[in-house]
C-alpha cells in the first residue's frame, strides 16, 4: 500500500471548538480537511464543564472583564489581546447560538427567559454562559452537527499529526533570515499505519493542551501537546510553557486511572467551600475572595494543606444546597459522584489538584498567525497573550472562538494572495522505516509513565531550582532514548505521542528553569517573589531560551 496525498485550501489539525469554528467559516471560501486523533468528539472542549465568559448582563462591562482577566494573569497578559477577546465575546456567543448551541436559561420576572449567567473564581460579576455543567459537550455537539451539514468539509478521524511540511522536508538550504513556510503536514492514519501527505495552502493548529505530560490530569488521553511539538520542531516561536494551570478540584479516587473527573469551579461559584479533613475552611485566611480566589492561589493552598497534614486530598462542601438544585444545576457532577457513593447534597466531595490547562504555547499575533508563514494556531495550543501567567476561569472556550474568527479573517486575505502568486511544492512520500518490536513497545509504555511521573514529582504546583535541575537531566536522557527509538521503529500513534510528550516536557522544564521568579502559575520556592519586570520566556528550536516582553500588533 502506497501513501496517499490529499489537497485542500485549509488543513485543520484538531476538532475542538477552535478547529471546528474555524472550519465552519473557512468552508465559505475554500475546501477544508479536518484531521483528529481519535473520535471526532475527543477534545478538551468536550470535557469543559464550567462555561464561556462574556459580558452579557446590564450590570457588567467590558472594562470589568478586562480588569478581571489582567488581574488573574498577574499583569503578564497582553492588554490588546485581552481587549479583543472581551469585546468580541458577545458576538461570538450569539454565533454559537445561531449554529445550534443551547445554553441554560432562567425565567425573567416579567415573563420570557434570559441566559442563566454563572460566576467563577476571579470574576467580579456573573458572566459565565453555560449549558448546566456540560457546556463543552453541548458546544461540541452543535459544532459537529453544523460541520456535518457542510459538503466541502471532510473529517478524518483516527489521524495523528506527525510533522509540519516546510522547506526542511524539501532539503532546501535556508538563510537564517528567510521565512519558513507551511504547506500542510504529514499525517498518520492510525488504522492503517500509513503516513499520508496532506497539502494545504493554509494550516491551523488546534490540537489542544499538554495535560497528559503529567501523571494526574483532567485532560483526555489525546492531550499530548502534538501541535506545539510539531510547531517547535518546524522552527516556530513558543512561549510561556512554564505556566501550567492545575485545577484545584479534581475528584479524588484512590484507584483512579486515566483522566481525573473535574469538579467545575462553578460549584464554588454556587457557594461550595473548601475544607480540610478537620472540617476547617482554609481559604478564608489566604485571599479576600476566599474560595473564589484565582486558581493558582487555590491550587497552591490545597497543595500546602496536603503537605502540612500528610494527606491525599481535601474536601469541597456544597451540602448547603438542596438535592433538587444540585441535580438541576450540576446533573453530570451529581451523577458521577453518586456513582462513586458520594451524595453531594449530604457528603463533602474529596478533591485534589490536577494538571488542567496550558497558558503558553505557539506564539501568535492578534490574527492567529504564527512565526511560520501560512501556519495559524488557535485554542489551548496558542499563546495569544490573553492569559498571561494564569487563565481566568471560562476564558478558554472564549479564546478559541475569538481567535479562530481572527485567524479566518486573516487566512481569507492570505488565501487570495496564495492563489495569485503562490505555488505548492511537491513533497516526497513519507519514508516508511524500521520494524515493530513488541519488547521495545513495552519500553515505550514505561517511557510514557517515566515522563509523566517525572513531571508530576519535579515540575508540579511548587517547584525549586534543585528539582528543576534534576528534571532537566532526566528528561534529556529520556528524550535521547525516545528519539533513537523513534528513528529505528515502525511509526505508530503511540510512538508519535511519546515523542511529543518528551518534547513538551523539555519545553516546560526549560521555561521553568529560565524564569528566576514566581508569578502566576509558576511558583519556585527558591525565588518566591515576582520579578521587577514582567517578561515572557521565549523558546525556539536551536536557540537558547530568552526572557523578553512579547509585543503583539
Cα separations in angstroms, 457 against 4, 211, 305, 461: 43, 15, 17, 9
Q: Which residues of 420-434 are buried (b: 16+ CB within 10 A; e: fewer)?
A: eeeeeeebeebeeee
| 353 CB-near residues (< 8 Å, 6+ apart) | 216, 246, 247, 248, 249, 250, 299, 302, 303, 461
Identified catalytic residue from 92, 119, 268, 295: 295
- Dist. CA 79–CA 67, nearest whole Å: 9
- Dist. CA 41–CA 220, nearest whole Å: 11
- Dist. CA 102–CA 10, nearest whole Å: 28
Cα separations in angstroms, 179 against 237, 543, 550: 13, 16, 19
Query: Is 494 annotated as catalytic?
Result: no
- Dist. CA 385–CA 122, nearest whole Å: 18
Sign of CA dihedral 408, 507, 444, 489: positive
C-beta contacts of 398-401 below 8 A and 24+ residues apart: 398/52, 398/53, 398/54, 398/85, 398/89, 398/92, 399/85, 400/16, 400/17, 400/18, 400/21, 400/45, 400/206, 401/17, 401/18, 401/21, 401/52, 401/92, 401/95, 401/96
Nearest to 120 by CA among 464, 461, 391, 442: 391
- Dist. CA 142–CA 474, nearest whole Å: 44
Determine how many CB atoms are found less than 10 A away from the CB of residue 176: 4
Sign of CA dihedral 321, 326, 327, 333: negative
Q: Which residues are catalytic?
A: 295
Amino acid at each position: 500500500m502506497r501513501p496517499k496525498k490529499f489537497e485542500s485550501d485549509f488543513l485543520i489539525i484538531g476538532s475542538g471548538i477552535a478547529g471546528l469554528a474555524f472550519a465552519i467559516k473557512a468552508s465559505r471560501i475554500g475546501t477544508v480537511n479536518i484531521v483528529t486523533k481519535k473520535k471526532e468528539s475527543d477534545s478538551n472542549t468536550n470535557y469543559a464543564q464550567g462555561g464561556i465568559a462574556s459580558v452579557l448582563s446590564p450590570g457588567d462591562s467590558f472594562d470589568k472583564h478586562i480588569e478581571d482577566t489582567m488581574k488573574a494573569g498577574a499583569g503578564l497578559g497582553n492588554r490588546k489581546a485581552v481587549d479583543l477577546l472581551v469585546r468580541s465575546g458577545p458576538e461570538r456567543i450569539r454565533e454559537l447560538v445561531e449554529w445550534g448551541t443551547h445554553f441554560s436559561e432562567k425565567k425573567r420576572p416579567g415573563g420570557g427567559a434570559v441566559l442563566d449567567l454563572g460566576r467563577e473564581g476571579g470574576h467580579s460579576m456573573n458572566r459565565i454562559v453555560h449549558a448546566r455543567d456540560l457546556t463543552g459537550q453541548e458546544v461540541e455537539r452543535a459544532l459537529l452537527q453544523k460541520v456535518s451539514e457542510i459538503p466541502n468539509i471532510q473529517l478524518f478521524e483516527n489521524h495523528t499529526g506527525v510533522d509540519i511540511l516546510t522547506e526542511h522536508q524539501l532539503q532546501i538550504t535556508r538563510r537564517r533570515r528567510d521565512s519558513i513556510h507551511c504547506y500542510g503536514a504529514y499525517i498518520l492514519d492510525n488504522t492503517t499505519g500509513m503516513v499520508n501527505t496532506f497539502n494545504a495552502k493554509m494550516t491551523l493548529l488546534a490540537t489542544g493542551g499538554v495535560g497528559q505530560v503529567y501523571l494526574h490530569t483532567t485532560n483526555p488521553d489525546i492531550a499530548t501537546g502534538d501541535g506545539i511539538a510539531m510547531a517547535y520542531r518546524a522552527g516556530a516561536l513558543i512561549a510561556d510553557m512554564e505556566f501550567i494551570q492545575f485545577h484545584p478540584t479534581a475528584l479524588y479516587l484512590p484507584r483512579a486511572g486515566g483522566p481525573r473527573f473535574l469538579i467545575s469551579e462553578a460549584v464554588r461559584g454556587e457557594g461550595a467551600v473548601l475544607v480540610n479533613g478537620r472540617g476547617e475552611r482554609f481559604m478564608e485566611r489566604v485571599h479576600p475572595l476566599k474560595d473564589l480566589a484565582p486558581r493558582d492561589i487555590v491550587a497552591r493552598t490545597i497543595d500546602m494543606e496536603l503537605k502540612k497534614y500528610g494527606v491525599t486530598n481535601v474536601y469541597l462542601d456544597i451540602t448547603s444546597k438542596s438535592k433538587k438544585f444540585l441535580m438541576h444545576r450540576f446533573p453530570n457532577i451529581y451523577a458521577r459522584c453518586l456513582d462513586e457513593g458520594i451524595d453531594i447534597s449530604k457528603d463533602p466531595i474529596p478533591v485534589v489538584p490536577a494538571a488542567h490547562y496550558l497558558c503558553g504555547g505557539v506564539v501568535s499575533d492578534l490574527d492567529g498567525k504564527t512565526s511560520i508563514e501560512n501556519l495559524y494556531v488557535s485554542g489551548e495550543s496558542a499563546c495569544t497573550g490573553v492569559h498571561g501567567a494564569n487563565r481566568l476561569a471560562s476564558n478558554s472556550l472564549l479564546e478559541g472562538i475569538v481567535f479562530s474568527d481572527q485567524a479566518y479573517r486573516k487566512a481569507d486575505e492570505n488565501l487570495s494572495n496564495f492563489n495569485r502568486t503562490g505555488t505548492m511544492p511537491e513533497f516526497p512520500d513519507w519514508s516508511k522505516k524500521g520494524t515493530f518490536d513488541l519488547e521495545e513497545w513495552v519500553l515505550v509504555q514505561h517511557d510514557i509513565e517515566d515522563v509523566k511521573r517525572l513531571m508530576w514529582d519535579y515540575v508540579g504546583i511548587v517547584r525549586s531550582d534543585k528539582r528543576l535541575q534534576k528534571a532537566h537531566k532526566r528528561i534529556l536522557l529520556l528524550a535521547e532514548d525516545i528519539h533513537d527509538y523513534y528513528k529505528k521503529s515502525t511509526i505508530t500513534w503511540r510512538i508519535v505521542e511519546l515523542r511529543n510528550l518528551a518534547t513538551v516536557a523539555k519545553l516546560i522544564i526549560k521555561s521553568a528553569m529560565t524564569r528566576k521568579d514566581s508569578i502566576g502559575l509558576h511558583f519556585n520556592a527558591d525565588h518566591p517573589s515576582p520579578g521587577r519586570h514582567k517578561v515572557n520566556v521565549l523558546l525556539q528550536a536551536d536557540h537558547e531560551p530568552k526572557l523578553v516582553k512579547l509585543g503583539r500588533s
